[in-house]
Amino acid sequence: MLVPTRELALQVRTVAIDLSTGTSVGCAAVYGGVGMDDQTKALRGAVDIVVATPGRLLDHARRGSTRFHHLEVLVLDEADRMLDMGFLPDIRRVLALLPRTRQTLLFSATIPREIADLSREVLREPERIRVGHARRDSVPVGITHAVFPVPAHRKTALLTVLLRRGGMGSVLVFTRTKHRADRLARSLAPQGFEAGVLHGDRSQGQRERTLAAFRAGRVKVLVATDLAARGLDVEGISHVVNFDFPRTPEDYVHRVGRTARAEAKGDAFALVSPEEEGGVREVEREMGTSIPRVTLPEFDYAAPPPPGAKPGPARPGGAGQGRRGGRGGASGGAFPATGAPRSRDEFWRRVRRRQRPGK
């Protein structure tokens, strides 16, 4: 089983071990960021399932730690990411080592047309099995979406206000870059919010400790790059916040899918600057519905940026233009100035009230 991140490799191994309890099936995880010796020992033992990131698996193949003569099944999890231009060279090298007579399975919440075309390289006479009937069905039905329009330089202040309003339990915040994740976490600390950070520049030990603290509830806010968007399963995430709006609708689907797991309910908030509105409209077109815009009456949207502040990253295409252009949007407005909503139900009652005709 090939997966894009170390965290997903560990998670899949845990599930495989749980499912194989009481059997003789052995499972090993092979990923970077840690030493190879223990992994080599596991691979040379009685292993039936190997969960691996592509680069580290190739490292072991070069060292002769593993052979694939008897391999029967290849699984590409998060197939759209595994077949994009970042992973594709390593995937091709792995495929060259595998028996031609095998069963190959691709799994993903989203498979864009470009990836579907590319998948013909690794599949022969494939059958496509879809849960749902359109891409919009890939967004869990338990997620409620809201967009908070805000100038780029006021995003951190708005996020702080939202965190203080109550009703937000375990919060996963996505930024576009590793530097932004670090800077945002540092900015939240003086406001009384201890935030964990998860991105590719953190050591494996740091990443595992951060995820353990988030899963256990010792850290309520996790600031992450798209490293956390793929397959990460943490129970009880109440809110996903897109601090930086994702580049594509597919990325939006994967990010917000970290909440409302196993038929639970969750909220997906997006802090959207004018430059990012085009991306929101793309997501609305793909979902087939508008997303309400919400403003907070107590928040000062017009405050000037601090001296020396740099603008946040703008989404390519400029304001109002997505990759395919077009029009979209949703009605919305400010909450009535009757105090902050203190629960999830009250929050969405106020949003729905503002969405009614004539409001």
pLDDT at 317: 42
- The count of structural domains within the chain is 2
The reply to whether 252 and 103 lie within a common domain is no
The reply to whether 34 and 148 lie within a common domain is no
pLDDT at 337: 41
The reply to whether 183 and 282 lie within a common domain is yes
The reply to whether 294 and 225 lie within a common domain is yes
The reply to whether 307 and 174 lie within a common domain is yes
Is pLDDT at 150 greater than 60 in this prediction?
A: yes
Distance of alpha carbon 12 from alpha carbon 162, whole angstroms: 33
The reply to whether 108 and 41 lie within a common domain is yes
Residues above pLDDT 90, as percent of the chain: 54
The reply to whether 117 and 141 lie within a common domain is no
Has residue 164 been placed in a domain?
Answer: yes
The reply to whether 183 and 258 lie within a common domain is yes
The reply to whether 217 and 76 lie within a common domain is no
The alpha-helical segments, DSSP class H, found in the chain are 6-19, 37-43, 54-63, 79-82, 88-97, 113-118, 155-164, 178-188, 204-216, 249-256, 277-287, 344-355
Structure confidence by residue, pLDDT tens digits, 47-88: 999 999 999 999 999 999 998 999 999 999 988 888 876 888
Encoding tokens for residue 131?
């849960």
The reply to whether 330 and 296 lie within a common domain is yes
The reply to whether 109 and 163 lie within a common domain is no
Structure confidence by residue, pLDDT tens digits, 5-51: 998 999 999 999 999 999 999 999 999 989 999 999 999 887 999 99
Enter the pTM of the model: 0.71
Domain boundary residue among 92, 121, 150? Answer: 121
Has residue 130 been placed in a domain?
Answer: no
Structure confidence by residue, pLDDT tens digits, 94-138: 999 999 999 999 998 878 887 788 788 888 888 888 875 454 546
Domain boundary residue among 86, 121, 156? Answer: 121
Q: Which domain holds residue 296?
A: 136-355
Distance of alpha carbon 107 from alpha carbon 75, whole angstroms: 8
Look at strands 170-174 and 237-242 and give their pairing: parallel
Distance of alpha carbon 9 from alpha carbon 160, whole angstroms: 33
Is pLDDT at 339 greater than 90 in this prediction?
A: no
Encoding tokens for residue 193?
């919010």
The long-range contacts involving 190-193, CB below 8 angstroms and separated by at least 24 positions, are: 191/160, 191/163, 193/160, 193/163, 193/220, 193/221
For residue 97, the domain's CATH number is: 3.40.50.300
| Arithmetic mean of pLDDT, 171-188 | 96
The reply to whether 42 and 184 lie within a common domain is no
